[in-house]
Chain A
Amino acid sequence: MKSLKTLMLAVASLAGLGIAGSAFAQCADTNLSAWSSTFTNNSSALHVVATGLEATPSACKLSATFGANVATGQTNAAAIVIDTTPGATAGGEPRYRARFYFNVDSLTGTPLDGSVQSTMMNVVGNAASSGFNQILRVFHRSNSSHQHVIRLAAACGANSPTADGLCRTDIVNVPAGNHYLEFDIQTGATGSVTYWLDSNATSTAGTLIPSNSGTTMNMSAWGGVVSMSMGISNASPNYRLNFGTATQYFDAFDSRRQTAIGP
């Protein structure tokens, strides 16, 4: 049970972003040390700022932005926090549940269309296959109606309907405001990904990402979950061009092996 303890400690420290803020009313960037590591490059930035995104807000939240120069280069700009504690389990965690809050209200207007996409979260597996190592990617993107769209793309191997090893689903027309997303990844040859958006996973059934065989996903090639990153990364050219200086907010990340998390 060694790795379970590690994971629970990680959860406690991550929740500490909010706890520390409410106790001391200080949303200092020193809170970023709760994470295994952070990554920014060029002009991208991460900060801890007031106020939290939960229904009963904690003191602080995480802000992420690319910066002013991103439009002309920095194709690999990233501003992410990283949790590597799942990697303490040999081969990675076979089951991984996580929940986080986000606010993308700064992404709005006519430029927000189907060519605008950024990655909000990467859940990385123990091995790469089909040219990628992310077991699950959570994207923010849009459409011709300029709506917020949350896309989930999961590794599913031979169960991919698009033959690229990915199974995707879109949550369209996500309104402005604060939201929380929870997912439950079960890896292996008969894996699955269940998700909840603004729905209590402790009391409601989630939605399964579809595959070419119903909802079964063959994730065996990627192993278990070894790390998670949250923030802004791997953005499309039009995201960098039109929203390079936009700020996305994240809060209250929690991850567990078995138990549903809820709001």
Chain B
Amino acid sequence: MKIRVLLCLGALLMVPTFASAALTCPGTLLSKPFSGAQGDTCTNGSNSITSMCSGGVDSPGNDDAYQINGDGSAVSLTVTPTGTAWDVAVQVMTGACGTGTCLSGTGSSDVNGAGGAETVSFTATAATTYWVIVYSGQLSANCGTYTISGQLPVSLQKFSVD
């Protein structure tokens, strides 16, 4: 008897793929299996979001938006800026991209200063769309390049007993 379980796993392998267009809302869908992503808010981003979370979080610089379709599994993403000059920050939200409801706690990260990576983690409810906003930390209208690594929701695609 052979049991086969095929999972769609978010891999940590980095296969850089620069976005070819501005990643304004509704942004680019992070597809699975996730092999990482790379972006550049200077080139591809725009300051489409000036503030989020009912004005509580400012985004004075360019921002990129990514879409994740939840399936009930855990999501963990780390955004690492290139170099040490740029202070990247990450905010996850539901509802409307850019103006929706911001996830609290680990759904938001601006812990480190310039050059520091930021990690967000949350459980992505099934049939719910999430927006991951990569932006410049408050008081910084700068922009920069970055990589996204981590794990997207794990989906059971096939189960069989042979």
Binding site for B on A (CB under 8 A): 37-42, 69, 72-78, 80, 82, 84, 119, 122-124, 128, 131-134, 137, 227-229, 231, 233-234, 236-237
Contact = CB atoms under 8 A, between A and B. Distances in A.
23 contacts: A39-B57, A39-B104, A40-B104, A42-B109, A73-B110, A75-B87, A75-B113, A75-B137, A75-B138, A78-B56, A80-B53, A80-B54, A82-B54, A122-B55, A124-B54, A132-B51, A133-B50, A133-B51, A229-B54, A229-B56, A233-B55, A234-B56, A234-B57
Given A39-B104, A40-B104, A41-B110, A233 B57 contact: yes
B55 A229 contact: yes
Interface in B73-101: 87, 89, 91, 101
Interface of B: 47, 50-51, 53-58, 60, 87, 89, 91, 101-102, 104-105, 107-113, 116, 137-140
B51 A42 contact: no
B149 to A, nearest CB: 20
A73 B56 contact: no
Contact of A39 (B56, B58, B89, B109): B56
Contact of B104 (A38, A72, A84, A119): A38
Nearest to B55: A122
Contacts of A84: 54
B138 A137 contact: no
Contacts of A123: 55
A235 B60 CA distance: 14
Contacts of B138: 75-76, 234
